[in-house]
Amino acid sequence: MTTHAPVRNAGPEEPSIAAEAATTAVVRGAEPGRPERTWLRATGDAAWRFIGIVAVIALVVYLISLVQIVFVAVYLALVLTAVLLPLGNLYDRALPRGLAMIASLLTLLAVVGGLTTYVVSTIAARADDLTTQLTTGLDSLAQSLPFDVGTSEQWLVDGGTWFEENSGAVLDQALQGANLAATGATVVVLGMFLTIFFLTGGGAMWRWFVDQLPARARRNWEAAGETGWRTFSGYTRGIAFVALADATMAGVFLTVMNNPLALPLTVVVFLAVFVPMVGPVAAIVISAVVTLATGDPTSAIIVAVGMTVIAQIDANVLQPLITGKQVNLHPVAMALAITCGTVLAGLLGAVIAVPLTAVSWAVFSRLRARPDEAGEDVAGDGAGPPTPSPDPVAPAQ
């Protein structure tokens, strides 16, 4: 008699070994028939993505370097647009929109032109007194040093001799300076030209650009543009207000100290604020050296202490209250950004490093947020074009 082993039918409640393996592979993150994803594979994928991102950034920096004049002009126009928008909105209550924006730009030109004229006329009117004070101060400084550096008259003689011996190199430097001045004038004119169009029709220009994109990508670009412009304009207006406050405090302080170059040094302080971390230190050094050359060591020490106090008020009070909410960056990140910007583009890189880094980080944080965190579906469903923004310059204000 033959004995047969019992046969068990595999029912739905007993999955096969292959199905169980496939299920396990899916749970572990690998597809059926493919090797399991290990830490080495994940690290390699991340490394390739990082290399791709670095390559794209390097390509963008290289392309910008080829058209640096255009980039600087566009950046200047965006800065002026962000600063002048509130004034243009104020004029808009009494004037048509286009005229209001042009009037805001003319107001800025009038203010800058008036201050420049006042500074130049003040220095020209006191040129003889300033020359005498500067010569006396330099002689006093030279005598107070523990080693012999000569006198101002000897410096002039030595300078004339050096100029005669190096006239060719000086001429080349003068030509380079003239070329740089012409380039700067071109940038300013182009920036003013672009500012007029950004103020009067920037919103329409942005909506036209977004409409050229695929429908599925429009919401992403709208979110990126809105966040980027809000961060950039907030930082620009905040830093302009901080610079004005610092310049006002420095001007009052230097005037009380009877500094003959109080107004030019006030302008230096205003411009120095736009170079984070480095500018305030440079303003302190320049103010102390100029005071030492036109006064006495005691006045120079007092000016250095006073300018340091103003810099501390800037760093610990004004900057956190006004620009801290817009630039959500750690000081270490800001220092690295400024260093990289300086290495890549010199003084210009130091100026634009912080706002560009802040805008990039804000856009990245906005796009990676989940729909419930972002307040809307960032990815979009391609249902239609985004709602036009009322702001005439940027995606949103």
Least confident among 61-70, 118-127, 214-223, 236-245: 118-127
**Does position 194 have pLDDT exceeding 90, yes or no?**
yes
Residue 164, pLDDT above cutoff 80: no
Closest CA to 361 of 215, 202, 232, 238: 232
Higher-confidence residue of 237 and 21: namely 237
pLDDT one-digit tens code per residue, 309-361: 998 888 888 877 777 777 777 778 888 888 888 888 888 888 888 888 889 88
Higher pLDDT, 388 or 53: 53
Q: How confident is the model at residue 190 (pLDDT cuts 50, 70, 90)?
A: very high
CA quadruple 66, 68, 70, 75: dihedral sign: positive
Q: How far apart are CA 15 and CA 30, in angstroms?
A: 19
Higher-confidence position of 159 and 206: 206
pLDDT tens figures, 209-263: 989 988 888 888 888 888 899 999 988 888 888 889 999 999 999 988 888 788 8
